[in-house]
């Protein structure tokens, strides 16, 4: 076998291997982008015969687009081989995504070429995107539930060390009265101190929780906030045999808000409304959530119930933390709602419903107005 034939054989074998690859492989003149070699996958991706064409509108990085850190057009033979590109690019025609890696090297005829390989990663990317979305949803849901339930849960938790401390102290007092030796009291006092530390840890956890949920305000459609919050409220309404009516004025502008926090506010107000209607029946078991533009700068949201209403006396303390009239209440709901609304430069107001019951309203700033 002569040398030329051996060289040809080797090239054919290499081409057969490259054609067998699922990844698209190409070599292009580094100076002008003319394609010198393309394997079967690359040709299938870009149609018929791509060799001889210039790399435009194909799934390849482009120097004109600033895809490279070092412009390959200026590379000389002494600069190669070197890594040129490693990134993800979309195929504009099909919308599929490719991981593309390019290297600069010396071609058989002495020219500098870009040798590239592109692998289809659309499926992998889609799976990752779905997983990310799902995770976001789960953590949003978790936050919605936890913020509402957090207060009562933590209060319960903090109650345990506190009552333990009370017991230890009472025990000590009783023994001291009975003339016990100071040393006998030591273990009980140490235990009380340990319980106090435990309570401290719980409080630190609350602080961390609050820190984590600092507002992240973005432009959000009002309907998006209400849809999400009321999806939770619907479940409550069905369970309690109550009706939930939603009335969103058409064409509302986006508001600037931390959507999860505002969802939480709506949910808290709705649940309070349901609680207030627990002895009502028939038509009166209707809770209405209404949203409309108050003016160009503010959107107003109202939660309207037909419940037992609020006495003059209670109205004074509604927003104070831990004020509650419910057996299982925590009294944190309205306090949290008010601070969230104020973080949004709004005001949470309460008035009597002329038809019986209570109306809570709050405002959110219109995105456009904030940006001006």
99 CB neighbour count, 10 Å cutoff: 16
Told to check if 161 binds Mg ion by CB under 5 A, we report: no
Of residues 18 and 265, the one with the C-beta less far from Mg ion: 265
Exposed (0-12), middle (13-18) or buried (19+): which is 36, by Cβ within 10 Å?
middle
| β-strands 82-90, 97-106 pairing | antiparallel
Whether 229 contacts 110, CB under 8 Å: no
Exposed (0-12), middle (13-18) or buried (19+): which is 290, by Cβ within 10 Å?
middle
- 261 makes contact, choosing from ligand ADP, Mg ion, none, with CB < 5 to 8 Å by partner type, with none
- 218 makes contact, choosing from Mg ion, ligand ADP, none, with CB < 5 to 8 Å by partner type, with none
List the x/- string, 262-291, binding to Mg ion by CB under 5 A.
----------x-------------------
Of residues 172 and 318, the one with the C-beta less far from ligand ADP: 318
Told to check if 310 binds ligand ADP by CB under 6 A, we report: yes
- 330 makes contact, choosing from ligand ADP, Mg ion, none, with CB < 5 to 8 Å by partner type, with ligand ADP
Return phi, psi of residue 366, to 5°. -70, 135
21 CB neighbour count, 10 Å cutoff: 14
- 113 makes contact, choosing from Mg ion, ligand ADP, none, with CB < 5 to 8 Å by partner type, with none
Among 283, 287, 279, CA closest to 303? 287
Nearest-5° angle of CA 246, CA 249, CA 253?
120
Told to check if 353 binds ligand ADP by CB under 6 A, we report: no
Segment 311-350, which members bind ligand ADP (CB under 6 A)? 314, 318, 323-326, 329-335
Least distance in angstroms from the C-beta of 348 to ligand ADP: 11
The set of residues, in sequence order, having a beta carbon less than 8 Å from that of 200 and lying 6+ positions away, is none
Of residues 72 and 357, the one with the C-beta less far from ligand ADP: 357
Among 33, 273, 307, 333, the residue binding Mg ion under the rule CB under 5 A is: 333
229's tokens: 């919050």
Which residue's beta carbon is nearest to the bound Mg ion? 333
Segment 251-290, which members bind ligand ADP (CB under 6 A)? 268, 272-273, 276
Of 49-57, 217-225, 326-334, 337-345: span binding Mg ion (CB under 5 A): 326-334
3-class DSSP assignment, residue 195: helix
Site size for ligand ADP (CB under 6 A): 21
Of 67-75, 83-91, 103-111, 304-312: span binding ligand ADP (CB under 6 A): 304-312
Which residue's beta carbon is nearest to the bound ligand ADP? 333
Whether 251 contacts 285, CB under 8 Å: no
Of residues 307 and 333, the one with the C-beta less far from Mg ion: 333
Distance CA(20)–CA(182), nearest Å, equals 88
361's tokens: 């309203």
Return phi, psi of residue 105, to 5°. -150, 175
Of residues 27 and 291, the one with the C-beta less far from ligand ADP: 291
Least distance in angstroms from the C-beta of 152 to ligand ADP: 7
For ligand ADP, the binding residues (CB under 6 A) are 268, 272-273, 276, 305, 307, 310, 314, 318, 323-326, 329-335, 358
């Amino acid at each position: 076998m002569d040398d030329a034939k051996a060289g040809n054989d080797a090239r054919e074998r290499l081409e057969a291997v490259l054609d067998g690859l699922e990844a698209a492989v190409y070599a292009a003149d580094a100076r002008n982008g003319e394609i010198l070699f393309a394997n079967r996958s690359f040709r299938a991706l870009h149609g018929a015969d791509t060799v001889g064409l210039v790399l435009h509108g194909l799934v390849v990085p482009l120097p004109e687009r600033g895809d490279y850190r070092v412009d390959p057009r200026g590379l000389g033979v002494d600069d190669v081989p070197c890594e040129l590109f490693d990134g993800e690019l979309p195929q504009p025609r099909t919308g599929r995504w490719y991981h593309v890696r390019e290297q600069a090297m010396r071609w058989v005829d002495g020219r500098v070429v870009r040798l590239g390989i592109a692998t289809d990663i659309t499926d992998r990317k889609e799976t990752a995107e779905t997983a990310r979305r799902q995770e976001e949803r789960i953590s949003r849901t978790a936050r919605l539930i936890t913020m509402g339930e957090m207060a009562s849960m933590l209060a319960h938790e903090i109650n345990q060390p506190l009552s333990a401390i009370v017991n230890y102290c009472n025990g000590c007092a009783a023994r001291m009265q009975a003339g016990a030796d100071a040393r006998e009291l030591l273990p009980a006092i140490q235990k009380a101190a340990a319980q106090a530390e435990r309570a401290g840890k719980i409080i630190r956890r609350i602080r961390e929780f609050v820190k984590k949920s600092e507002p992240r305000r973005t432009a959000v459609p009002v309907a998006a906030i209400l849809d999400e919050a009321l999806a939770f409220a619907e479940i409550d309404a069905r369970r309690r045999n109550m009706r939930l009516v939603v009335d969103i004025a058409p064409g509302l502008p986006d508001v600037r808000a931390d959507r999860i926090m505002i969802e939480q506010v709506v949910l808290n107000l709705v649940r309070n409304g349901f609680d207030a209607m627990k002895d009502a029946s028939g038509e009166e078991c209707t809770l209405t959530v209404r949203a409309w533009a108050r003016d160009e700068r503010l959107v107003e949201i109202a939660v309207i119930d037909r419940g037992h209403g609020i006495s003059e006396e209670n109205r004074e303390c509604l927003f104070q933390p831990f004020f509650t009239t419910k057996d299982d209440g925590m009294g944190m709901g309205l306090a949290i709602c008010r601070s969230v609304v104020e973080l949004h430069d709004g005001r949470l107001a309460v008035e009597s419903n002329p038809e019986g019951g209570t109306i809570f309203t709050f405002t959110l700033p219109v995105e456009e107005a904030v940006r001006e």
